[in-house]
Amino acid sequence: MDGGVQEKPAARGPAGLRWAYFLVGWVFFALGLLGAFLPVLPTTPFMLLALWAFSQSSRRFHDWLYHHRVFGPSLQAWRRERVVPRGVKAVAFCSMVASLLYVGLRVRPSWWALGAMAGVMLAGALFLLSVPSRPSSAVARGDPLADPPPPADGGAAGGGQR
Protein backbone atom coordinates (compact mmCIF):
# COMPACT_ATOMS: atom_id res chain seq x y z
CA MET A 1 0.00 0.00 0.00
CA ASP A 2 2.91 2.33 -0.73
CA GLY A 3 1.12 4.46 -3.34
CA GLY A 4 3.50 7.40 -3.26
CA VAL A 5 4.80 7.22 0.29
CA GLN A 6 8.53 7.10 -0.32
CA GLU A 7 9.69 6.31 3.18
CA LYS A 8 7.83 4.38 5.81
CA PRO A 9 7.45 6.04 9.20
CA ALA A 10 9.67 4.72 11.95
CA ALA A 11 7.05 3.88 14.61
CA ARG A 12 9.75 2.78 17.00
CA GLY A 13 10.91 3.76 20.44
CA PRO A 14 9.48 3.28 23.91
CA ALA A 15 5.85 2.18 23.94
CA GLY A 16 4.84 5.06 26.24
CA LEU A 17 6.33 7.59 23.86
CA ARG A 18 4.58 6.00 20.89
CA TRP A 19 1.26 6.25 22.76
CA ALA A 20 1.96 9.92 23.49
CA TYR A 21 2.65 10.61 19.81
CA PHE A 22 -0.46 8.64 18.89
CA LEU A 23 -2.58 10.77 21.24
CA VAL A 24 -0.98 13.97 19.93
CA GLY A 25 -1.75 12.79 16.39
CA TRP A 26 -5.44 12.46 17.22
CA VAL A 27 -5.50 15.86 18.94
CA PHE A 28 -4.01 17.50 15.84
CA PHE A 29 -6.39 15.52 13.62
CA ALA A 30 -9.36 16.76 15.67
CA LEU A 31 -8.12 20.36 15.45
CA GLY A 32 -7.66 19.99 11.70
CA LEU A 33 -11.14 18.54 11.37
CA LEU A 34 -12.55 21.54 13.27
CA GLY A 35 -10.52 23.77 10.98
CA ALA A 36 -12.40 22.38 8.01
CA PHE A 37 -15.53 24.05 9.41
CA LEU A 38 -14.20 27.03 11.39
CA PRO A 39 -12.42 29.87 9.59
CA VAL A 40 -10.28 30.64 12.65
CA LEU A 41 -8.51 27.25 12.56
CA PRO A 42 -6.40 26.06 9.64
CA THR A 43 -6.86 22.50 8.42
CA THR A 44 -3.72 21.48 6.54
CA PRO A 45 -1.11 22.55 9.13
CA PHE A 46 -2.89 20.51 11.81
CA MET A 47 -3.17 17.56 9.43
CA LEU A 48 0.56 17.84 8.69
CA LEU A 49 1.26 17.77 12.42
CA ALA A 50 -1.08 14.80 12.83
CA LEU A 51 0.70 13.01 9.99
CA TRP A 52 4.06 13.64 11.66
CA ALA A 53 2.80 12.39 15.03
CA PHE A 54 1.34 9.27 13.43
CA SER A 55 4.65 8.71 11.63
CA GLN A 56 6.24 8.45 15.08
CA SER A 57 3.59 6.12 16.46
CA SER A 58 1.57 4.15 13.93
CA ARG A 59 2.30 3.23 10.31
CA ARG A 60 -1.33 2.23 9.93
CA PHE A 61 -2.75 5.63 10.90
CA HIS A 62 0.02 7.49 9.08
CA ASP A 63 -0.89 5.67 5.86
CA TRP A 64 -4.62 6.08 6.55
CA LEU A 65 -4.29 9.85 6.88
CA TYR A 66 -1.82 10.19 4.00
CA HIS A 67 -4.22 8.37 1.67
CA HIS A 68 -7.43 9.83 3.14
CA ARG A 69 -10.01 10.72 0.50
CA VAL A 70 -10.45 14.30 1.77
CA PHE A 71 -7.24 15.20 3.62
CA GLY A 72 -4.75 13.04 1.74
CA PRO A 73 -4.40 15.06 -1.48
CA SER A 74 -3.24 18.23 0.30
CA LEU A 75 -0.79 16.24 2.43
CA GLN A 76 0.58 14.49 -0.65
CA ALA A 77 0.86 17.80 -2.55
CA TRP A 78 2.75 19.38 0.33
CA ARG A 79 5.17 16.47 0.48
CA ARG A 80 5.66 16.41 -3.29
CA GLU A 81 5.80 20.13 -4.08
CA ARG A 82 6.20 22.10 -0.83
CA VAL A 83 3.94 24.87 -2.15
CA VAL A 84 0.84 26.70 -0.96
CA PRO A 85 -1.28 27.84 -3.94
CA ARG A 86 -2.08 31.57 -4.20
CA GLY A 87 -5.79 30.98 -3.75
CA VAL A 88 -5.20 29.13 -0.50
CA LYS A 89 -2.91 31.93 0.68
CA ALA A 90 -5.55 34.54 -0.18
CA VAL A 91 -8.25 32.68 1.74
CA ALA A 92 -5.89 32.25 4.69
CA PHE A 93 -4.95 35.95 4.78
CA CYS A 94 -8.57 37.09 4.44
CA SER A 95 -9.69 34.64 7.14
CA MET A 96 -7.00 35.88 9.50
CA VAL A 97 -7.87 39.54 8.95
CA ALA A 98 -11.62 38.88 9.24
CA SER A 99 -11.16 36.82 12.41
CA LEU A 100 -8.92 39.44 14.01
CA LEU A 101 -11.35 42.23 13.15
CA TYR A 102 -14.33 40.26 14.41
CA VAL A 103 -12.66 39.37 17.69
CA GLY A 104 -11.27 42.88 18.15
CA LEU A 105 -14.51 44.70 17.37
CA ARG A 106 -17.21 42.31 18.59
CA VAL A 107 -15.69 40.13 21.29
CA ARG A 108 -13.38 42.83 22.66
CA PRO A 109 -10.86 40.66 24.52
CA SER A 110 -8.10 42.10 26.66
CA TRP A 111 -5.32 43.84 24.75
CA TRP A 112 -2.82 41.08 25.51
CA ALA A 113 -5.17 38.34 24.23
CA LEU A 114 -5.79 40.29 21.02
CA GLY A 115 -2.05 40.90 20.71
CA ALA A 116 -1.31 37.20 21.19
CA MET A 117 -3.89 36.32 18.54
CA ALA A 118 -2.40 38.88 16.15
CA GLY A 119 1.10 37.53 16.85
CA VAL A 120 0.11 33.97 16.04
CA MET A 121 -1.63 35.14 12.88
CA LEU A 122 1.42 37.20 11.90
CA ALA A 123 3.63 34.13 12.31
CA GLY A 124 1.26 32.15 10.09
CA ALA A 125 1.16 34.92 7.49
CA LEU A 126 4.96 35.19 7.44
CA PHE A 127 5.23 31.44 6.98
CA LEU A 128 2.78 31.56 4.07
CA LEU A 129 4.75 34.39 2.48
CA SER A 130 7.95 32.35 2.78
CA VAL A 131 6.51 29.35 0.92
CA PRO A 132 6.33 29.36 -2.90
CA SER A 133 2.94 29.46 -4.60
CA ARG A 134 3.93 27.28 -7.54
CA PRO A 135 6.25 24.28 -7.83
CA SER A 136 9.60 24.71 -9.52
CA SER A 137 9.56 23.97 -13.25
CA ALA A 138 11.46 20.68 -12.76
CA VAL A 139 8.98 19.46 -10.17
CA ALA A 140 6.04 20.67 -12.27
CA ARG A 141 7.36 18.67 -15.26
CA GLY A 142 7.55 15.59 -13.06
CA ASP A 143 11.35 15.37 -13.36
CA PRO A 144 12.33 12.52 -11.00
CA LEU A 145 15.84 13.99 -10.66
CA ALA A 146 14.61 17.40 -9.56
CA ASP A 147 16.24 18.66 -6.43
CA PRO A 148 13.94 18.64 -3.43
CA PRO A 149 13.13 22.07 -2.08
CA PRO A 150 15.57 23.37 0.55
CA PRO A 151 14.61 23.02 4.20
CA ALA A 152 12.85 25.98 5.76
CA ASP A 153 15.92 26.77 7.89
CA GLY A 154 18.19 27.00 4.84
CA GLY A 155 19.83 23.67 5.58
CA ALA A 156 21.87 24.99 8.50
CA ALA A 157 20.37 22.63 11.06
CA GLY A 158 20.90 19.48 9.01
CA GLY A 159 24.66 19.84 8.72
CA GLY A 160 24.40 19.00 5.03
CA GLN A 161 26.61 20.25 2.23
CA ARG A 162 26.05 23.62 0.66
Is the model's pLDDT at 128 over the cut of 80? Answer: yes
Is a pLDDT exceeding 50 seen at residue 146? no
Predicted confidence (pLDDT) at residue 148 exceeds the cutoff of 80: no
Q: Tell me the C-alpha distance between 71 and 81, whole Å.
A: 16
pLDDT at 105 over 50: yes
State the angle between helix axes of 72-81 and 44-55 in degrees (0 to 180), rounded to the nearest 10: 80
**pLDDT value of position 110:** 95
Average pLDDT value over all residues in the chain: 80
Question: Predicted confidence band at 145 (pLDDT cuts at 50, 70, 90)?
Answer: very low
In this model, does residue 156 exceed pLDDT 60? no
Can you list the alpha helix ranges (DSSP code H) found in 36-162?
A: 44-55, 59-66, 72-81, 86-102, 111-130, 137-140
Burial of 159 (C-beta count, 10 Å sphere; 0-12/13-18/19+): exposed
Kindly state the percentage of the chain with pLDDT values over 90. Answer: 37
Backbone φ and ψ of 158, nearest 5°: -80, -15
The structure's pTM equals 0.61
Residues 93-99 have a mean pLDDT of 88
Q: pLDDT tens-digit profile of 28-84?
A: 999 989 988 876 677 888 899 999 999 999 999 999 999 999 999 889 988 889 888
Task: Look at residue 102 in the predicted model and tell me its pLDDT.
Answer: 92
- Per DSSP, the three-state class of 22 is helix
